[in-house]
């Protein structure tokens, strides 16, 4: 997510708030060498994720609700709800050779991907990014800071991809997720329609949240989860509980400095949303065998929310012959808005070119 995103908590909270703080690891932005070889056959839903329901079977046809449409800056999703989106098309006016669908993070916005859009509009690639349901640019203000189920995020992604692909039929599609956006991609790919999944040429993850830092003692863990179950609608302000210690989010900016310029900043989150994110994070180990697509991963060494060794463990468990990772030891959470941005964009472009060529 972009420097305009706000951090909701500092990971030094007294417990039992520790778990709730851990669940907002994504709120600030809220990420090796390539191996070649034959790609494994895709087995949808081959493994049910711990703590989550098995996803619905993949649709055999890519047919969203009749009301779904891609308008001028606003799109209509599967259930008739409307959300804003941004797109960057090639500046030369020619049809793009490939498409990127980018998913932003917690308390973020589609505009977080402006660096991505500006870079690729010069390179014959279209970039599309939509506002997530329940985040700061959700047109329904009462829904901000909440989500019913993760399946709503997955179905929105599936519908948006369908509409984007209709705009650019036959073009290779790449998906890019940062922080919570990475979680949505990792845990939601098996919920895509068969047509959408087949169209994806590669998955890019930046600052992925693949594990929780904070671990509660059993009794406190029980109490927190009981609250999530009994009062899922309750909204909490982790910002007010967190204190005032400066938290670095890029090499030159802090969380506190960014809050003042974040129009889509969300202060209050429901326990339901925090519990949903926790379950998605706990599901990450199981996704190592279900992603089923070429993958590139970018992650920082100075992220106060994600331990680099956890990302290394996740990457090592990926059952993919075609994967690569890039580590930025001096990087912070907001990689696309820091000194690493140029290198990330160049590596991403080169990787996309290789994958698009390999799929022909």
Q: Is residue 82 part of a domain?
A: yes
For residues 16 and 170, give the distance between their C-alpha atoms in angstroms, rounded to a whole number: 51
Residue 9 lies in a domain: no
Q: Choose among 202, 213, 206, 200: nearest CA to 183.
A: 206
Within 8 A by CB and 6+ apart from 181, the residues are 1, 102, 103, 104, 105, 108, 132
Rounded to an integer, the average pLDDT of 271-280 is 92
**Which range has the worst mean pLDDT, 23-37, 81-95, 208-222?**
23-37
pLDDT above 50 for 164: yes
Tokens of 293: 């697509």
Residue 129 sits in which domain range? 17-29+47-358
Mean pLDDT value across residues 260-284: 87
Q: Is residue 270 part of a domain?
A: yes
Cα–Cα distance measured from residue 269 to residue 272, given in angstroms and rounded to the nearest whole number: 8
Tens of pLDDT, residue by residue over 42-71, are 233 333 333 444 344 444 445 556 689 999
The confidence band for 251, taking pLDDT boundaries of 50, 70 and 90, is low
Looking at per-residue pLDDT, the higher value among 297 and 17 belongs to: 297
pLDDT at 57: 41
Q: Is residue 4 part of a domain?
A: no
- Compute the mean pLDDT over every residue in the chain, rounded to the nearest whole number: 80
Q: How far apart are CA 38 and CA 238, in angstroms?
A: 46
Mean per-residue pLDDT, 285-305: 92
40 is a domain residue = no
Answer whether residue 78 shows pLDDT above 50. yes
Residue bearing tokens 């400095």? 257
* pLDDT reported for residue 305: 77
Which residues, 6+ apart, have CB-to-CB distance to 307 below 8 Å? 211, 213
Q: Outline where the chain has alpha helix (H).
A: 17-23, 114-120, 150-167, 180-188, 194-199, 218-230, 238-242, 255-259, 271-282, 284-287, 308-317, 341-358
Q: Tell me whether residue 326 is in a domain.
A: yes
SS3 192: coil
Residue 14 has pLDDT above 60, yes or no: no
- Tell whether 245 is covered by a domain: yes
pLDDT band at 38 (very low <50, low <70, confident <90, very high): very low
The answer to whether residue 34 is domain-embedded is no
For 82-112, what is each residue's pLDDT tens digit?
A: 999 999 999 999 999 999 999 999 888 999 9
Domains in the chain, number: 1
| CATH code assigned at 349 | 3.40.50.1820
């Amino acid at each position: 997510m972009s420097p305009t995103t706000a951090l909701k908590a500092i990971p030094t909270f007294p417990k039992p708030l520790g778990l709730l703080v851990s669940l907002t690891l994504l709120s600030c932005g809220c990420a090796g060498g390539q191996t070649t070889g034959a790609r494994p056959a895709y087995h949808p839903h081959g493994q049910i994720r711990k703590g989550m329901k098995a996803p619905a079977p993949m649709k055999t046809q890519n047919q969203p609700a009749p009301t779904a449409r891609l308008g001028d800056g606003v799109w209509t999703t599967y259930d008739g709800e409307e959300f804003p989106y941004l797109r960057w098309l090639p500046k030369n006016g020619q049809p793009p050779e490939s498409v990127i669908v980018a998913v932003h993070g917690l308390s973020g916005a589609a505009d977080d991907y402006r660096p991505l859009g500006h870079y690729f509009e010069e390179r014959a690639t279209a970039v599309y990014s939509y506002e997530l349901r329940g985040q700061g640019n959700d047109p329904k203000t009462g829904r901000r800071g909440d989500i019913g189920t993760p399946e709503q995020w997955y179905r929105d992604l599936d519908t948006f991809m369908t509409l984007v692909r209709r705009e650019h039929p036959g073009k290779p599609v790449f998906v890019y997720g940062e922080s919570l956006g990475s979680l949505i991609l990792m845990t939601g790919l098996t919920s895509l329609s068969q047509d959408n999944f087949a169209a994806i040429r590669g998955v890019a993850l930046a600052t992925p949240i693949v594990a929780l830092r904070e671990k509660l003692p059993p009794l406190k863990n029980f109490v927190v989860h009981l609250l999530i179950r009994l009062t899922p609608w309750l909204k909490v302000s982790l910002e007010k509980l967190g204190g005032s210690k400066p938290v670095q989010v890029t090499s030159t900016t802090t969380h506190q400095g960014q809050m003042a310029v974040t129009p889509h900043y969300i202060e209050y989150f429901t326990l339901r949303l925090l519990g949903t994110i926790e379950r998605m994070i706990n599901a990450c180990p199981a996704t190592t065998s279900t992603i089923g697509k070429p993958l590139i991963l970018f992650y920082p060494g100075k992220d106060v929310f994600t331990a680099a060794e956890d990302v290394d463990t996740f990457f090592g468990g990926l059952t993919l012959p075609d994967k690569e990772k890039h580590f930025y030891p001096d990087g912070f959470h907001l990689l696309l808005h820091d000194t690493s941005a140029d290198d990330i964009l160049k590596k991403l472009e080169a990787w996309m070119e290789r994958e698009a060529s390999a799929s022909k």
